Amino acid sequence: MTMLAAKPVQTGGADASATNAPRVSVRNLTKVFETKRGRHVALDNVSLDVAAGESLVLLGPSGCGKTTLLRCVAGLERPDSGEITVHGQTVFSSSAGIYRPPEHRRLSMVFQSYALWPHMTVGENIAYPLKNLRVPSGDIEPRVKTVLEMVGLGSFASAYPGQMSGGQQQRVALARAIVSNEGVVLFDEPLSNLDAKVRERLRVELLTMQRDIGFSSLYVTHDQAEAMALADRIAVMGVGRIAQLGKGDEIYRRPLSRYVANFVGKSNEIAGTLKARDGDYAVVETPLGVFRGKAGPNVQGDGQSIIVLFRPEAATLERDIPATHNRFAATLKHSTFLGTHLEWIVVSGHTPLVVTVGDRAAHPEGETLHFSIDPNLMQIFPADEAIS
């Protein structure tokens, strides 16, 4: 590890290497695909920055534009408008007419499909980017050896990719991505072809490697747990756009929209009508009772149709009869033991809700129970807000 750290690539020139400037910067990026079915706006005015050493994860559903964004940064796709800088150097600018090809962007990429050369040995695959960078041949072998050891494949230099498991091949792809030590690695769902155990182990190894080497990464996944585990910050994507960008806990606790609240983690939704605004809070009348919660953007007019939203763990089991704000009664329909807690399906009126409680809460199915919810754990959004 120290060998890699001790051999930084000469970055030279007017770039961001010596400063805190972002390693990757995307500004107002738009990409439209013309297809037989018509125009599809795959990216609509997307902006983000990846700081030095940062792991930024793009999390979003299938087809929202994650791969397209990554391919634009890599230079494999030409955007319609916007700007991209890597290491402070402009690699794409529609206004200035700049487009640098992938090999001149000083970054590496790891794909879902490993993308190794089948006719080359593991060692030759990893040496490939170093040869392209014209690293002196005497330096190549020790560097290949170092990264192979880092990914736990010290004895595999002369093996061929076809003789290895998926997890091992992805380790080779990882070694190839970090061997040139360019400082920026793009990942497109690199673990999604692997089984759960291997995926989790590689995830931990990836984190360790990132800490040790200090590269910046833009990492695409549609797996929430993976995003939470790997990200310094997460950009939650909707179709062609970034719906919210922030730390994982911030996104979970303070979703800025119904879309984000529903995409990240589980949420309960109750429909109602706005009664009043009260500073950062709003009061909403619903068939389950009156609720006070944190008002999201565009919650303003009395009588507005509203969705009140809360996480399963936000509901607290109470002994007494619901009387005031933020309480509701519900019938226990189904209980599932999940090791550390119980997950209950309860029904209030006609509304099914999911709540989680400590595993000591033994109650028979069919019992009527009372719950309260802290106003700070309730989010309130306009009902007409798009949820995709």
Ligand X SMILES: Nc1ncnc2c1ncn2[C@@H]1O[C@H](COP(=O)(O)OP(=O)(O)OP(=O)(O)O)[C@@H](O)[C@H]1O
Q: Rule CB under 6 A: which residues touch ligand X?
A: 33, 35, 40, 42, 60, 62-68, 222
Q: Is the Cβ of residue 68 or residue 326 nearer to ligand X in the bound state?
A: 68
Q: Is the Cβ of residue 19 or residue 35 nearer to ligand X in the bound state?
A: 35
Round to whole Å and give the CA distance between 329 and 346: 9
- In sequence order, what are the beta bridge partners of 358? 341
Q: At closest approach, how far in Å is the CB of 18 from Mg ion? A: 34
Q: At closest approach, how far in Å is the CB of 41 from Mg ion? A: 16
Q: Is the Cβ of residue 67 or residue 181 nearer to Mg ion in the bound state?
A: 67
Q: Which helix (H) or strand (E) holds 225?
A: helix 224-230
Q: At closest approach, how far in Å is the CB of 64 from Mg ion? A: 9
**Alpha-carbon separation of residue 325 from 171, 332, 381 (angstroms):** 54, 21, 18
Contact between residue 343 and residue 356 where contact means Cβ atoms under 8 Å apart = yes
324 binds, among Mg ion, ligand X, none (CB under 5 to 8 A by kind): none
Round to whole Å and give the CA distance between 164 and 141: 21
Q: At closest approach, how far in Å is the CB of 348 from ligand X? A: 36
Q: Which helix (H) or strand (E) holds 3?
A: helix 2-6
Round to whole Å and give the CA distance between 28 and 9: 30
Q: Is the Cβ of residue 37 or residue 360 nearer to ligand X in the bound state?
A: 37
**Alpha-carbon separation of residue 85 from 21, 75, 159, 262 (angstroms):** 11, 11, 37, 33
87 binds, among ligand X, Mg ion, none (CB under 5 to 8 A by kind): none
Q: Indicate the length of the chain as a whole number.
A: 388
Q: At closest approach, how far in Å is the CB of 79 from ligand X? A: 12
Is residue 304 a contact point for Mg ion (CB under 5 A)?
no
Round to whole Å and give the CA distance between 22 and 90: 12
Query: Binding to Mg ion (CB under 5 A): which residues in 66-125?
Result: 67
Q: In sequence order, what are the residues at sequence separation of 6 or more whose Cβ sits closer than 8 angstroms to the Cβ of residue 169?
A: 114, 116, 161
Q: Is the Cβ of residue 137 or residue 192 nearer to ligand X in the bound state?
A: 192
2 binds, among ligand X, Mg ion, none (CB under 5 to 8 A by kind): none
Q: At closest approach, how far in Å is the CB of 66 from Mg ion? A: 5
Half-sphere exposure of 377 (CA within 13 A, CB side): 14
Q: Is the Cβ of residue 63 or residue 297 nearer to ligand X in the bound state?
A: 63
168 binds, among Mg ion, ligand X, none (CB under 5 to 8 A by kind): none
64 binds, among ligand X, Mg ion, none (CB under 5 to 8 A by kind): ligand X
Q: Is the four-CA dihedral 376, 343, 352, 222 of positive or negative sign?
A: positive
Which tokens sit at 381?
């959004």
Which tokens sit at 210?
């990132």
Q: At closest approach, how far in Å is the CB of 270 from ligand X? A: 31
62 binds, among Mg ion, ligand X, none (CB under 5 to 8 A by kind): ligand X
Round to whole Å and give the CA distance between 345 and 360: 16
Q: Is the Cβ of residue 199 or residue 294 nearer to ligand X in the bound state?
A: 199
Packing angle of the helix pair 196-213, 166-179 (nearest 10 deg): 10
Q: Is the Cβ of residue 58 or residue 380 nearer to Mg ion in the bound state?
A: 58
Q: At closest approach, how far in Å is the CB of 228 from ligand X? A: 17
Query: Binding to Mg ion (CB under 5 A): which residues in 38-77?
Result: 67
Residues near Mg ion, by CB under 5 A: 67
